Amino acid sequence: MSFTHQGREIRKVAVIGSGQIGPDIALYFTKVLSPFGVQTVVVDVSDEALAGGKKKLERKVAKGVETGAFSEAQQQAMTGSVLWTSDYEDIRGADLVVEAATENKELKGKIFGTVEELVSEDAILCSNSSHLEPEVIFADSKHKGRTGVVHYFFPAERNLLVEVVTGRDTTPETTRWLMSFYENIGKVPIEVQSRYGYALDPVFEGLFYACALLAERGVATTKEIDVVCKKTFKMGVGSFTAMNLTGGNPITAVGLDNYTTKIGPYWRTPESLKQKVADNEPWDVPARGEKVEVSEDVATKVRDALMGAYFGLCGEIVDAGLISISDFNMGLDVALDMSPAFSFMNEVGTARALELVRAYAAEYEGFPVPKCIEAHGATDKPFDIPVILREDRDGVAVLTIRRPKVLNALDQEVFKELRRRFEECDADDAVKGIVLTGFGKKAFVSGADVNFLAEIDSVEMGEQTSRTSQVCVDAVQAVQKPTVAALNGLAFGGGIETAMACETRIAKKGIKVLAGQPEANLGIIPGAGGTVRLARLVGFENANMMLRTCRPISSEKALAFGLIREEVEGDLVDRAVALCSDMADGKAPRSRMAEGPMSDVPEVLPAIEIGHLSRRVDEILQKAILGAAKLPLAEAVPFEAQCFGEVCGTEDMRIGVANFLQNGPKAKAEFVHR
C-alpha cells in the first residue's frame, strides 16, 4: 500500500531524530499516512532518545483515544506503523525524509550524506531546521534539486503551519510538490525564501529580544512585560513564558548572535539571556492564576515599545522579499497565535504604526524603519492583505479562499473580496473561466462568521446585512464566463450559497458531509441566496428537507440531487480547470441558472419534522422559499433579504445566536417560537 500525491508514490517516510520535535513529526505522519499503509521510521543514535520518543508518541495517541480523537483501531494502526530504530539501514528506500536533529550544520550534513546512500535519487530530503539555510545544510548533497527545509512549529503534531524554505538549487517542481503535499495532509504551508532564521523565528525571537531589552533597561519586570506582551498581541502566553515552554533559551541565544551578521546590527544576544543559558534557569513569569498588576504608565511604555519592535521586525522581513504579506500575516496568526502584524497595523492606522516604529528605532541603535511601512504610513494607507489567492492556469483563474483557522469561513470583508476577485477576472481578457475552491482538505467554506449576527439590532439592519452579502454573491452569478466551484470539503451556509452562484459545482468523491444550510439551528434563515437558488437546483422536495431540517448531505447525495455535476476521484482542482476550460471552448455543455420564476410552485411545502427548531423561524423560512420561487431571480434575492430582516425581529433569532456564541454549534437552542 502507498500514498500517492501528484504522481509521486510514498511508501515509507523517515524522521531522523527522536528528541523534542521528531516524535511529534512522526505522530503527524502516522496519523495521516498509516491509513494508506505507509510506514514511518524514526532513527536516532541514542536508544534512550528512541525510548523517550516512542513513549511520548504512544502517550499522545492514547490521550487521543481518551478524548475521542482516535478509535482504538486507529491507535493500533498508528503506533504499529512506526518503527523506532538506531539502524540507518531501516530507512533504505524511504520516499520522503525529514531530519529533525540538533541545529548543527556539520551534524546535519553528515546525516544527509548517510541518507543519500540509502534512498533513491528522486526521494525528497527535508530538514526541520529552524534557522540554517538550505544552502548550508545541503552544501554537499549530490542532488540538491530535491532538497529543502520544512520548518515545523511547536507542537508539531498540532500546530498546522510549516515554512517551506527552498534553497537556490531546489527545483520548482520540488517546491510545488512540498507545498501541495503538506496542504493535502492537513498542514498550512507557506513558501519562504532562504535567509538565516527564515520569516517567523526572527519575529518570535525578535519580540522576545525586545522584551529582554526592556527588562534589562529596567522599564518593567519580566512578569510585567510578559503580561503586557500577552495582552497587546492577544497571545496565549507572553514571550518570556513562551521561551520557558519551548525550552528556547539556548537556540535563541545562538540565533540572536547570528542575526547580527545575517540580518543587521540591531541584533545581539542580551546579557540576561546569556546568564539564563549559563545557569540553565527559566525566566521569572506569572504563575498559573497569578494576577500581576501593571501601572498604566508602565503598560503604555512597554506596549508602545513592543508594538514598534513588532511592526518593524515584520516590515523588514517583507522588505527583504522573504515572503508575501498575505502568507506572512497568516503565518503569524496560525504558527505564533498572535495578532497578525499587517492587520494590526491597519487596525491602529499605518501612520500610527510608522510613528511607533520610528520611536523604537530612535531608541535602539541599528533598528531599521522598513520601507513598506514608510510607504503606507506616509498617507495612512492600509495594507492590502488578500485571503482569496489567484493562480492562472492555461487561461483559467483559480481562486482559493484561504482562512485555515476558521475553515475558510466568510465574513463581510471576505464577501467583498470575493466580489472584487470575480469582477477582476471577468474584466480580464486573458481569463476564459474561473474556478473557486477552498484551502486545505476539510472545508470549501465552513459558513459565514456568526459574530456579526449578534450586532444586528433591528429588522432594517438585518435586511441590509443580508443585502450586503447578496450583492457580493450575485456578482459571482453575474459573470458570463464559465465558473466552477470545486468543493474540496464541507460547504455550509454562505459557502454553499456562494457555490450555488457559480455556474456548476464538482466535489471530491466520498465526502460524507458536503453541503448544508444550518441557519435554522441559529434561529435565522439563509441570507445570501440560499432560499432562492437551492430549490432551483435540487427541486422543492430536496430543498425543503435541507433548509428546514438543517440536515447536511454527502457528495454522493449532492450528485443525486443535482447540486453537483460530478464527484472527482483524482485531483479536484485539475479537473475543475479542465471542465471550466472545456465549457469555455464549447467542448462541455453550459448550465447557467434560469433567471425567470420557477414553474409548478406548490401552494405549501410538504410537511416535515423540524424537531426543536423554531416554528416561528420556520414560518418565515417557508415564506422565503415559496415567495422567491414565484419571482424572477433578480427580485427573488432581495425578497429573501426582506425575510431575513423579518427573522431578525424575532426572539428566537436572539436566542439562537446567543446559544451558538456561548455554547457552540452542537448545543440545541431552547426556542420560544416567537
Which residue ranges in the chain fall short of pLDDT 70? none
pLDDT of residue 658: 94
Sign of the CA dihedral running 380, 386, 392, 396: negative
Which fold, 388-663? Answer: 2-enoyl-CoA Hydratase; Chain A, domain 1 (3.90.226)
Q: Which CATH architecture has domain 3-193?
A: 3-Layer(aba) Sandwich (3.40)
- The residue among 518, 514, 537, 539 whose CA lies nearest residue 527 is 518
The angle formed by the CA atoms of residues 312, 313 and 317, to the nearest 5 degrees, is 110
Q: Could you give the CA distance from residue 243 to residue 285 in angstroms, rounded to a whole number? A: 10
Give the chain's length: 674
Q: What are phi and psi of 486, to 5 degrees?
A: -100, 100
Triad 182, 35, 436: Cα angle to 5°: 40
DSSP character string of 301-331: HHHHHHHHHHHHHHHHHHHTTSS-HHHHHHH
Q: 236-262 in b/e burial notation, b at 16+ Cβ within 10 A?
A: ebbbbbbbbebebbebbbebbeebeee
Q: Is 644 exposed, middle or buried (0-12, 13-18, 19+ CB in 10 A)?
A: buried
Give, in degrees to the nearest 5, the angle at Cα 423 between 419 and 427: 175
Q: Are 446 and 514 in contact (CB under 8 A)?
A: no
List, for residues 444-474, the tens digit of each pLDDT value. Answer: 999 988 888 888 999 999 999 999 999 999 9
Give the integer Cα–Cα distance in Å for 61 and 76.
9
- The sign of the CA dihedral 474, 476, 479, 481 is negative
Helix 633-647 vs helix 615-629: angle between axes, to the nearest 10 degrees? 170
Helix (H) or strand (E) holding 40: strand 39-43
- Tell me if 229 sits within 8 A of 211, measured CB to CB: yes
pLDDT at 169: 94
Domain boundary assignment for the chain? 3-193, 201-377, 388-663
Q: C-alpha grid cell for residue 249? A: 533559551
**345-382 per-residue burial string, b: 16 or more CB within 10 A, e: under 16:** bbeeebeebbebbbebbeebeebbbbebbeebbeeeee
Q: How far apart are CA 668 and CA 649, in angstroms?
A: 20
Looking at residue 450, its pLDDT comes to: 85
Specify the fold of 201-377: N-(1-d-carboxylethyl)-l-norvaline Dehydrogenase; domain 2 (1.10.1040)
DSSP state of 358: H
Residue 279: C-alpha distances to residues 254, 276, 282 (Å): 16, 5, 9
How large is the C-alpha radius of gyration of the chain? 27
DSSP string, 500-554: HHSSEEEEETT-SS-EE--GGGGT----SSHHHHHHHHH-HHHHHHHHHH---B-
Between CA 27 and CA 580 the distance in angstroms is: 39
Q: Which residues pair with 410 in a beta bridge?
A: 448
At 352, is the secondary structure helix, strand, or coil? helix
- Residue 454 has a pLDDT of 86
The x, y and z cell numbers of residue 414, run together, are 471576505
Q: Is the peptide bond before 404 cis (omega within 30 degrees of 0)?
A: no
E strands of 382-503, at which residues? 388-393, 396-401, 433-438, 443-445, 483-487, 490-492
Looking at the DSSP bridge assignments, the partners of residue 14 are 41, 97
- Is residue 540 within 8 A of residue 501, CB to CB? The reply is no
Distance CA 56, CA 247 (A): 17
The residue assigned the cell 420557477 is: 598
Q: How far apart, in whole angstroms, are the C-alpha atoms of residue 210 and residue 307?
A: 10
Strands 490-492 and 12-16: unpaired
Question: How does DSSP classify residue 448?
Answer: B
CB atoms within 10 A of CB 144: 19
DSSP 35: G
- Give tens-digit pLDDT for 621-668: 999 999 999 999 999 999 999 999 999 999 999 999 999 999 988 899
Residue 246 has a pLDDT of: 86
- Distance, CA of 109 to CA of 283 (rounded, Å): 34
| Helices and strands (H and E) in the chain: how many | 26, 19
